[in-house]
Structure 1
Amino acid sequence: MHPRVLGPALVAPALATVALFFVYPLAYSLVSSVQTPDGWGWANIVKVYELYRSDIIFTVMIIGFSTFMIGLFSTAIGGYLVLGENPRTVAILKWLYRWPLFIPFVVAGQVMRTFLAKNGMLNNTLIRLDLLSPLNAASLLDWRGIIVTFVWKQTPFVALLLSGAMASLDRGTIEAARNLGASRPRILIEIIVPQVRASLTVGLTLSFVTMMSVLSVPLMINAQTPTTITANMAFRINAYGDYGVANALGVISIILTSGVAWLYLRQASRDKSRAVA
């Protein structure tokens, strides 16, 4: 086969997959969000604003705070893997923190239902340790449970990216800082994190987009309002067959994730310009 034909032939299946499963649903959602039985208009968008504006704010706050906590925990884990002085503790942490990577969100939601319930494993453990009285035990199956699940599930993914980036850094600057008396937290914050900021930003951006698309966790953990956009989309379709409003909610999700992606691309462009200069 001629090389000019072989290249497009190899790329064609990937392009067809992207067009079929990404471009077409996106275009259909955009069109359906402004299409009503009476014609074209903004009725679906208006209904979303009237019914679900508190849920949109709730979604942004929950996922934004979860992303922030994921950044903190993944930085701490990656930093300890690089700077930790106890080989046994480092080995245990390497083995332990990766487990949630292999657990689907639906399974993570079910696990947290058992762990965070009023009579769940967390409260029973605290009661056995005399750290909590049975009368003060409370369920965390609400917005707090969503955050705990998201952070527990996504932190290993970002930590894996960060720990790899941190391990590839020049050890000379780290050892020089240690010789000058810098503490491990200071080395992590002032020397290591600035050098792996690109990897951290990539991981947090991907985590934000992933959490925006999760349906199982809010449905299984937060059986109350407000709830996330994905749960509202499922409700509009299953209860009313209202694809117009559901797609309008989807467009809002796309706008939110696109905003985060734009911030990432803007920061990456600035970092590249500084490196070239």
Structure 2
Amino acid sequence: MARLLGPLLVSPALIVILLLFMVPLAASVIGAFEVEGTVGLGNFTKAYDFYRQDIVFTAVIVGLSTMLTGLLAIAIGGYLTLGENAAAVAILRWLYRWPMFIPFIVVGQILRTFLAKSGLFNSTLVALGFLDPLTATSYLDWRGVVVAFVWKQTPFVALMVAGAMASLDRGTIEAARNLGASRLRILIEIVVPQVTTTLLVGLVLSFVTMMGVLSVPLMINAQAPTMITADIAFRLSTYRDYGVANALGLISLAISAVAAWFYLRVNMRQSR
């Protein structure tokens, strides 16, 4: 009986994974290679011919957003760990987490209002005298998508990185301070190398999350090129073309797998 207790406890989770992940994934893989009752690469050829610019656009936008997210997460975690102004540290610790609790669809709607040509951002610059109303431009393009992704994902990665930094041995940090090292040098040369694994985990999870977001590109970047998720939605809603949609989904999976491979390679290198 004791031997059966373990499998019984994990069986609900395994059933959920099987029904909600493995079965749809298998159906998508099979559907991507089905072309009018035969097996072939026609769906991938059509996806490449129609959406190759969107595929490159997606990889670049998500990659850029991931890089900026990592830099901001390091800056936030570093200030929380090395900051000397107690009030500023307390305010930052309370403030930076809020975007974590805002859904992507709400983020898209907020930034549509904030980054529009007559939105709050341009209106503030005009009121401060930094911008002429006639030269104001809309940021509802790839820049708005990057801002949305970075603003939403930075708190998630920063929370992981700040926790890892807080658990470090303070002796090495204090020794570096006694030797006259600046806070920036301590952060780059001492703190960051010790939390690289945690940082990479957060960035890979953020990369995969951003690859699957639909609401932000639809609400902010209503022009070409756009992201693969918008192409999948368009292919399903307009043409009911599940073959090309499945092919685009597998292409997204392949791009995400590259990020996972990079993380595993770095992790194995550190382990050796």
Common fold, TM-score beyond 0.5?
yes
For 2:183 and 2:129, how far apart are their aligned partners in 1? Answer: 34
What's the counterpart of residue 17 of structure 2?
Answer: 18
What's the counterpart of residue 246 of structure 1?
Answer: 245
For 1:127 and 1:259, how far apart are their aligned partners in 2? Answer: 43
Alignment of 1:16-165 (within 5 A): 16-165=15-164
Equivalent position amino acid for 1:119 in 2:
S
Q: TM-score, normalization: structure 1?
A: 0.97
**Which digits, 9 at most, give the CA deviation of each residue in 1:196-249, with x for residues without a partner?**
000100000000000000000000000000000000000000000000000000
Identity %: 62
- 3-state SS of the aligned residue for 2:180? coil
**Which digits, 9 at most, give the CA deviation of each residue in 1:75-126, with x for residues without a partner?**
0000000010000001111111101010000000100001100111101111
Residues matched between the structures, number: 272
> Aligned-pair RMSD on alpha carbons?
0.7
**Offset of residue 272 of structure 1:** 1.6
- 3-state SS of the aligned residue for 1:182? coil
Equivalent position amino acid for 2:208 in 1:
V
What's the counterpart of residue 201 of structure 1?
Answer: 200
For 1:38 and 1:200, how far apart are their aligned partners in 2? Answer: 45
Structure 2, unaligned stretches of length 5 or more? none
**Which digits, 9 at most, give the CA deviation of each residue in 1:242-272, with x for residues without a partner?**
0000000000011111111111112112212
For 2:118 and 2:266, how far apart are their aligned partners in 1? Answer: 45
Equivalent position amino acid for 2:203 in 1:
L
**Offset of residue 3 of structure 1:** 1.0
What's the counterpart of residue 258 of structure 1?
Answer: 257
**Offset of residue 38 of structure 1:** 4.0
**Offset of residue 131 of structure 1:** 1.1
What's the counterpart of residue 231 of structure 2?
Answer: 232
Q: TM-score, normalization: structure 2?
A: 0.99
For 2:88 and 2:131, how far apart are their aligned partners in 1? Answer: 28
For 2:142 and 2:265, how far apart are their aligned partners in 1? Answer: 31
